[in-house]
Chain A
Amino acid sequence: MSKYSQERFDVLVVGGGPAGIAAAVRAAETGARVGIVDENPAPGGQIWRSSSSEGKHSAEALRWLERMKSSGVLLLCGKRVFHQPDSGILMAEGMDDVYELSYRSLILATGARERFLPFPGWTLPNVMGAGGLQAMVKSGLPVRGKRVVIAGTGPLLLAVASYLRKQGAGIPLICEQASGKKLARFVASLIRYPGKIVQSFALRKEIGGIPLATSSWPLAAHGHQELDAVTISRGGKLETIDCDYLACGFHLVPNTELPVLLGCRLRNGYVQVNDLQQTTVEQIFCVGEPTGIGGVDLALVEGQIAGLAATGKMNATREFLSKRKKFGQFARLLDETFCLRSELRSLPSPETLICRCEDVAYSRLREHTSWRAAKLHTRCGMGPCQGRICGPATQFLFKWTPDSVRPPVFPARVEDLAAQPQPISQVTGGEPQ
């Protein structure tokens, strides 16, 4: 049996990235009992993921992590929320334990994931997300002397290229699907947002010596048991490049599954919130990428607003409003610049697998007219990732809209699913049941 524990919070935060940390810190500094539950082994989320070899954090990340420590936030890492058995209670599962977490206010800071688009060969080992490969390298994967082609869209590609090169990888090319014209417009408007890494896009054809090709995208990954090479369309011409890794991500999609499960309404694919970051469900707030892909600056501002609002400090949120407005405009600029071109819809061949969990090919999905019909007839999206990878892909390829979310929001052990909320006296001290 999993060890069963209970925790009660004034404010519970789901997600320990910048938005969640900022929310938790602000709430805890008012004296509230605050917890963060996060599925990763350490706090920081994706953008502040520390490196196993260097343990390096940015100065900004260090300041927030220190502040979190001294504010008395209870941190539950390596635990994944899978279910809401009753209003005000979430269940979270670890390797060998299960937690019943009750709260007065809930702040959802569930972050975003990369969007993956299927093309022939994308299921080969060593074809990874751009952020995916970076996370693996931060977790100890050596890339010194490896050749990494980076492809897709969005500012993350540049950050990953720069990081991997510092780790000793060779980067023959970054392929950005957006046009040079769009990027130029984007760069011109960046003057208003100092300190953004995306400034380095500039108008140059390279980033610190790494060649950058615009209007370019992967057509096929080649290899038998693993990747050997990738063919790209580079400004309309085909080119094949030998490589050890293809790091490929098409910007980000918000993790809205848990907010939707809890009844929060979406607007244009993002969680709908008001000025205080409140969702359409009472006592549930949402911050960071699920409310709009805006990066770390917007996440920190939204997190602080929610942390203050959840503890009744409404007046104190005012100082953040103009910053939120400014960074929110940046989010819209990102959406505009890195929206996907329609040519990418014709990347899959009939045999290309779209659903990697159930191995469902493009040709089988094409016959269907909705996500629901495709799920019922082909099992697309019915595997362990529950459509988190193929859902955004089919949304783009076929313009299908996702279904409602059903519990459990992640696969969980049957015994943990069966666990019922316990009267507090039965589990004193978190003893095993």
Chain B
Amino acid sequence: MPSEFTVRVNGTSVAVPIGSTVAVAMAIAGQPCRTSVTREPRGPLCGMGICFECRALVNGIPHSRTCQILCEPNMEVRTDE
């Protein structure tokens, strides 16, 4: 069984260990999760679904808390819309 699979973050393929959350996939891709209302880049803070800093578009679902969602093969994650 492979220990990794691929998800897409802003169109770029990223290999992630199986069992990783989407927030981890974005960190491995070197992408902040969102841009704040004053245009600051933001990444995860609490790691447990409370702060909402890691929210992104996951498989078309907006404002998904990516630290609470496990990666699935070929998942599409977007932080740029």
Interface residues of A, Cβ cutoff 8 Å to B: 39-41, 46, 52-53, 78, 80, 95-96, 113-114, 116, 123, 125-129, 131-136, 139-142, 225-226, 353, 356-359, 383-385, 388-389, 411
Contacts and interface: CB of A to CB of B under 8 A. Distances in A.
A353 B37 CA distance: 12
Contact of A123 (B42, B50, B70): B42
Sorted from nearest, which 4 A-B pairs have the closest CB atoms? A52-B19, A140-B20, A125-B43, A135-B47
23 contacts: A39-B68, A41-B21, A41-B70, A52-B17, A53-B19, A80-B49, A116-B46, A123-B36, A125-B42, A125-B43, A132-B44, A132-B46, A132-B48, A136-B47, A139-B19, A140-B19, A140-B24, A226-B43, A356-B36, A356-B42, A357-B52, A388-B50, A389-B50
B18 to A, nearest CB: 7
Given A39-B68, A123-B40, A136-B47, 7 more contacts: A95-B64, A95-B69, A131-B46, A142-B28, A353-B40, A356-B36, A384-B52
Given A132-B45, A226-B43, A359-B38, A139 B69 contact: no
Nearest to B22: A139
Nearest to B25: A140
Given A126-B43, A139-B24, A141-B27, A40 B48 contact: yes
Given A41-B68, A226-B41, A226-B43, A136 B27 contact: yes
A324 B16 CA distance: 43
A125 B68 contact: no
B51 A385 contact: yes
Contacts of B49: 39-40, 80
Given A53-B17, A385-B52, A225 B44 contact: no
Of B45, B49, B53, which is in contact with the most chain A CB atoms at under 10 Å from its CB? B45
Contacts of B63: 384, 411
Nearest to A135: B47
Of B32, B46, B67, B70, which is in contact with the most chain A CB atoms at under 10 Å from its CB? B46
A136 B45 contact: no
Nearest to B16: A140
A308 to B, nearest CB: 29
Given A123-B36, A388-B50, A41 B69 contact: yes
A305 B36 CA distance: 44
Contacts of A96: 61
Interface in B65-81: 67-70
B55 interface: yes
B8 to A, nearest CB: 17
A362 to B, nearest CB: 14
A132 B47 contact: yes
A133 B50 CA distance: 14
Contact of B18 (A52, A114, A136, A141): A52
B32 A114 contact: no
A135 B19 contact: no
A125 B51 contact: no
Nearest to B19: A52
A140 B17 contact: yes
A123 B64 CA distance: 20
B32 A125 contact: yes
Interface in B10-35: 16-21, 23-24, 27-28, 32
Given A136-B67, A139-B21, A389-B51, A359 B46 contact: no
Contact of A385 (B36, B38, B50, B64): B50
Contact of A78 (B36, B50, B67, B68): B68
B45 A129 contact: yes
B27 A356 contact: no
Nearest to B49: A39
Nearest to B27: A141
